[in-house]
Structure 1
Amino acid sequence: MASSQRSRVPPDMAVGFIGAGRMAQAMARGFITSGIIKAGNITASDPDPRMLNYVQKNLGINVTNSNREVVEKSQMIVLAVKPNVVSPVLQEVSQTVSKEKLVVSIAGGITISFIEQNLPVGSKVIRVMPNTPALVLAAASVLSPGKEVEPEDTEIVMELLRCFGIVEPGSEKLLDAVTGLSGSGPAYAFTAIEALSDGGVKMGLPRDLAIKLAAQTLLGAAKMVLETGKHPGQLKDEVCSPGGTTIAAMHKLERGGFRASLIDAVEAATLRAKELGQQK
């Protein structure tokens, strides 16, 4: 955020996390690192005392065993729990949620309407699908607001999400596909890095060097797509010299169904996200 821009996040805004797992930790770290939310204004609950001990020790945030206490203390509450836990959590805290509070859900597959139906009428709900690179402030998030959410609320949440990566607004009907692509996508990239490093080791490179080269190559390629604005197909073509090494390698990837496998992966993860939402 440019220094000339005035922050829309209220001074001393209190944020609560129901669930203190990796995504909650990543989000809290981003808020604190950016200076937009003070550690002392963040409260987290979790059934696992090890999680609470970790976030208290490493992030300096407040912890509690009570989900209701999180809601009572916070202006914005992040539901950072597994999809199958959302329903009992909402039943537990419903009476504590008021129209002044903003509920942000990062639970995969759980619809805004389901959350709204389990909270008091008029509750403000925003659904967000971030991903784990939030841990290194490089997340890709998509946000969808509920019907009671004001434009200013959306802007506040988008500003907060920008603390740890990029964020785009999107229709809720897109979020399962977002889950299949960017939500699950880091695993596809990790597998690609591992496989590329295996190839390097097969051809004689030391393992540590092969991993470093593979990871930096994916990082650099991603930055080229984002920063040049060129279509990835064009960038690929620019690497493929006539009769060269890269086009020979691309032929092997095509023969192995590389593109189709990634498309299948996104499709499978999307369909699974829809199934999980229906199992709530």
Structure 2
Amino acid sequence: MSAPVIGFIGAGNMATSLIGGMLQQNVKPARLLASDHNPEQAAKLARQFGIQAHTDNARLAEDCDVLLLAVKPQVMQQVCRALPARKPGQLIISIAAGIDCRSLADWLGTDAAIVRCMPNTPSLRRQGVSGLFANANVSATQKQQAEQILNAVGISLWLEEEQLIDAVTAVSGSGPAYFFYLIEAMTAAGEQLGLPRDTAERLTLFTALGAADMAVHSDVDASELRRRVSSPGGTTEQAIKSFANDDFPAIIARGMQAASRRAAELAVELGSSDNATSEDTP
């Protein structure tokens, strides 16, 4: 069986990252297609990767086995309704936040094989993590295809229930911003303690990088790693006690619950909305 032809509607950062990742995994450029409403963006992608890229979504959809929708959620309905009848056996992958499978099926046809995906911005550095959900029309082979595409920029995890996409959004979709916020706060606190700002920033950044690497490769969980650093009566213990007194875990939980609620609200707003703009690149 020949490798599938994969087409991207929307040639923004995430699509660019996925295409670059797949090429590094030896996917042939001839098996990748892209379209974008902006001819300059399409031409840039064609030059950068040596793939076919143009502005005609309908033409692209007719030519590919896997169609990846990488457009802004606000224009998803407009883009989907303008597509021609699907190629038999075609897999649809959506990376748009807040658009559920039911809405996509309303716009593309109830028999559409749809995988909904929530990647995150570290995918741009091929360090991403994505939550995936497949509707009942997706075959085992198509699930494998979707997984291979998203694994080109990190790792992917399958979900049994679509509503869990909201939780994925709260944890990993929005999660990078939480860590950036912590980096901001630690850098500022280091500066208040007398460090030059650039020194405080580099100390914070490489501490975050090292801690994440330790946690990823450790055979124990984060709480145990924390305990190992927190010597009784030591400096770390005092900081952790201060965080606990300020109810740090509850602060994090409330923020993530707010993110999850907003994700659910967006699914209702965007799924029922006729909003449309000319922008189709996330």
TM-score, normalised via structure 2 length: 0.88
The one of 263, 269, 276 equivalent to 1:279 is: 269
Number of residue-to-residue matches in the alignment: 269
C-alpha separation between the residues in 1 aligned to 2:225 and 2:261?
Answer: 30
The one of 90, 104, 108 equivalent to 2:93 is: 104
Going from structure 1 to structure 2, the CA distance change for 1:197 and 1:53 (only over 3 Å counts) comes to farther
User: 1:143 corresponds to which residue?
Assistant: 132
- 1:151 CA drift (Å): 0.8
Structure 1 segments unaligned to the other structure (5+ residues): 1-9
1:131 aligns with 2:120: yes
User: 2:20 corresponds to which residue?
Assistant: 29
- 1:241 CA drift (Å): 0.6
Q: Which moved more, 1:22-31 or 1:140-149?
A: 22-31
Contact residue 47 and residue 65 of structure 1 kept, 8 A = yes
C-alpha separation between the residues in 2 aligned to 1:70 and 1:212?
Answer: 45
1:92 aligns with 2:97: no
1:207 aligns with 2:178: no
User: 1:152 corresponds to which residue?
Assistant: 141
User: 2:179 corresponds to which residue?
Assistant: 189
Going from structure 1 to structure 2, the CA distance change for 1:57 and 1:203 (only over 3 Å counts) comes to farther
Matches within 5 A, 1:224-243: 224-243=214-233
User: 1:5 corresponds to which residue?
Assistant: none
- 1:11 CA drift (Å): 4.4
Among all aligned residue pairs of Structure 1 and Structure 2, give the percentage whose two residues are the same amino acid: 35
Contact residue 68 and residue 96 of structure 1 kept, 8 A = no
C-alpha separation between the residues in 2 aligned to 1:84 and 1:209?
Answer: 42
Bigger relative contact order, structure 1 or 2, given CA contacts below 8 A and separation 6+? Answer: 2
Contact residue 99 and residue 124 of structure 1 kept, 8 A = no
Q: Which moved more, 1:228-237 or 1:48-57?
A: 48-57
TM-score, normalised via structure 1 length: 0.89
Secondary structure of 2:89's aligned partner: coil
User: 1:80 corresponds to which residue?
Assistant: 70
C-alpha separation between the residues in 1 aligned to 2:202 and 2:43?
Answer: 32
Considering only aligned residues, what root-mean-square deviation do their CA atoms show, in Å?
1.9
Structure 2 segments unaligned to the other structure (5+ residues): 271-282
